[in-house]
Structure 1
Amino acid sequence: MTSEPDTAVRLVVADGIGVLRLARPPVNALDAAAQEDLRRAAEEAASRDDVAAVVLYGGERQFSAGADIREMAAMSHSAMLVHAERLSGAFTAVADIPKPVVAAITGFALGGGCELALTADYRVCADDTRIGLPEIALGVIPGAGGTQRLSRLVGTGRAKRIIFTGAPLGAAQALDIGLVDEVVPADQVLAASTAWASQFVGGPALALRAAKQAVDLGAGTDLRSGLQIERALFAGLFGTEDRSIGMTSFVTAGPGRAGFVGR
């Protein structure tokens, strides 16, 4: 099942996997309309029971070259105050999908494209990918989560070096610092990403949701508060049918044999 074909971001669902497909050629520049399409598609993927995991994909040639600079160049300060909130909100909608999300990165993932990849839980990129945050060369800084998500992922020192210089990284460099998790030949990116997402189909959806919440919420607070978040989410799962299924199956049949129902 596919969302409206004339949108810049389409949700295509098959076999439990929802593919958020960027479709604004030639380089998937994310203008205001594309950002709104991204938000709507992300919210749909989050709400659908037939979507167990999500793949962010820009196509065989490009992930995304970032924001539409021509559009932004004409904006005043007051206009950007409004636009920046919408931009950040669209990317946050992807980050907030309560399911495993993998970015399938081909070609360039620059500026907003890199920031979109940072909203994912796992990143697979092509061996010829170039990824980075070049906004400094435009006299601005990343405005869709780049300064925050990158520093949390790779550390403040590495994040500052990437942001201050604006220089893109190759796939090997990105893998070395943990910016991406897996590097494969370009023609295998979508298959590898789909394989990673497929392992969660039929899995314990509520436990996966809780695990993602625990990590994401805990990362933004101190250890003591993070442990409180973890305890509450852990205990809450004891009210679910999946917890009963999982533990009963473990006791009677051993690990890895539970048939979860998502309740």
Structure 2
Amino acid sequence: MGVSTSSPEKGISVVTVDFPPVNAVPVAGWFALADAVRAAGHDPEVRCVVLGARGRGFNAGVDIKEIQAQGRPALVGANRGCFEAFAAVYECEVPVVAAVQGFCLGGGIGLAGNADVIVAGDDAVFGLPELDRGALGAATHLSRLVPPHLMRALYYTSRTATAAELHAHGSVWRVVPSEELGAAALELAREIAAKDGELLRLAKAAINGIDPVDVRRSYRFEQGFTFEADVSGVADRIRDTFGKEGTSGG
């Protein structure tokens, strides 16, 4: 349970998230994930990072039960933790392949949306149920996965899009049977890791440098509205109804 790192092949580091039962990540988990991704990318022997998860889903967002129990300190911690984890994926010195199975919700969109490439199982679904969770955020990252108007429709309705739909939009590289996800992600990572490591790092920095949206600033702007929803009492009103049903958010 927690965040672990393994090296299945030369040049490849796999960072795995495991917070049963649904990978709703606690505050400490987001910071641990950020540290693991940054450490893997900083390792001169690593040329590609695979970000994956154990269990039924890739990520269910923040642990809302933790926020309900601890109040505003946990909300601030979750905001900061998500900010650091999303930034760590985006700023990782080498390419990051997200291996997504099952549900990819809330904070999962922040991780997958900031990855360089996404390989998904055929059971994967992507969405931001934030309006149902008393939160806001990660529209920045959903905008990297689907066109603007579809992003708005998904955000306002809290609906999800399938891996096949995202593949049609070009944001998912490959959709495979869920049992083949790990092998497919490693296959792509192996192809990337075969390139010159120094040149790969330059390529990652160059591509980030030409991005039209500053994802850190954009997401930080969104987080201000999450905090405003909490201060105004709107978030608590919605979370109180949700708390009887589950544990995730974003």
The one-letter amino acid paired with 1:154 is V
What's the TM-score once normalised by structure 1's chain length? 0.74
Secondary structure of the 2:210 match is helix
Structure-2 residue corresponding to 1:126: 121
- The match for 1:196 among 185, 188, 195 is 188
2:104 is the alignment partner of 1:109: yes
The CA deviation at 1:76 is: 4.5
Structure-1 residue corresponding to 2:166: 174
Structure-2 residue corresponding to 1:232: none
The one-letter amino acid paired with 2:131 is I
The CA deviation at 1:221 is: 6.2
Counterparts of 1:194 and 1:14 in 2: how far apart (Å)?
Answer: 9
Q: For residues 86 and 60 of structure 1, do their structure 2 counterparts lie closer, same or farther at Cα, with a shift above 3 Å needed?
A: closer
Secondary structure of the 1:162 match is helix
Counterparts of 1:79 and 1:170 in 2: how far apart (Å)?
Answer: 31
Structure-2 residue corresponding to 1:10: 4
Q: Between Structure 1 and Structure 2, whose CA radius of gyration is higher? A: 1
The one-letter amino acid paired with 1:8 is G
The Cα offsets for residues 207-239 of structure 1, whole Å up to 9 and x where unpaired, read as 2222222222211369xxxxxxxxxxxxxxxxx
- Any residues of structure 2 matched to 1:183-222 within 5 Å, and which? 183-220=175-212
Secondary structure of the 2:172 match is coil
1:62–1:107 contact (8 Å) kept in structure 2 = yes
- Structure 2 spans left out of the alignment, 5+ residues: 215-250
2:158 is the alignment partner of 1:163: no
Higher relative contact order at CA 8 Å, sep ≥6: structure 1 or structure 2?
A: 2
The CA deviation at 1:177 is: 2.3
The one-letter amino acid paired with 1:141 is L
- Structure 1 spans left out of the alignment, 5+ residues: 1-6, 223-263
The CA deviation at 1:43 is: 1.6
The one-letter amino acid paired with 2:149 is G
The one-letter amino acid paired with 2:7 is V
Bigger shift: 116-125 or 155-164?
A: 155-164
The CA deviation at 1:201 is: 2.4
The one-letter amino acid paired with 2:3 is V
Counterparts of 2:98 and 2:142 in 1: how far apart (Å)?
Answer: 15
Secondary structure of the 1:51 match is coil
C-alpha RMSD of the superposition: 2.1
Secondary structure of the 1:154 match is coil
The one-letter amino acid paired with 1:203 is K
The one-letter amino acid paired with 1:47 is H
How many pairs were matched up?
A: 213
The CA deviation at 1:116 is: 1.4
Counterparts of 2:170 and 2:193 in 1: how far apart (Å)?
Answer: 26
- Any residues of structure 2 matched to 1:8-87 within 5 Å, and which? 8-15=2-9, 16-59=11-54, 61-74=56-69, 76-77=71-72, 80-87=75-82
Counterparts of 2:35 and 2:105 in 1: how far apart (Å)?
Answer: 22
The one-letter amino acid paired with 2:85 is A
The CA deviation at 1:93 is: 1.1
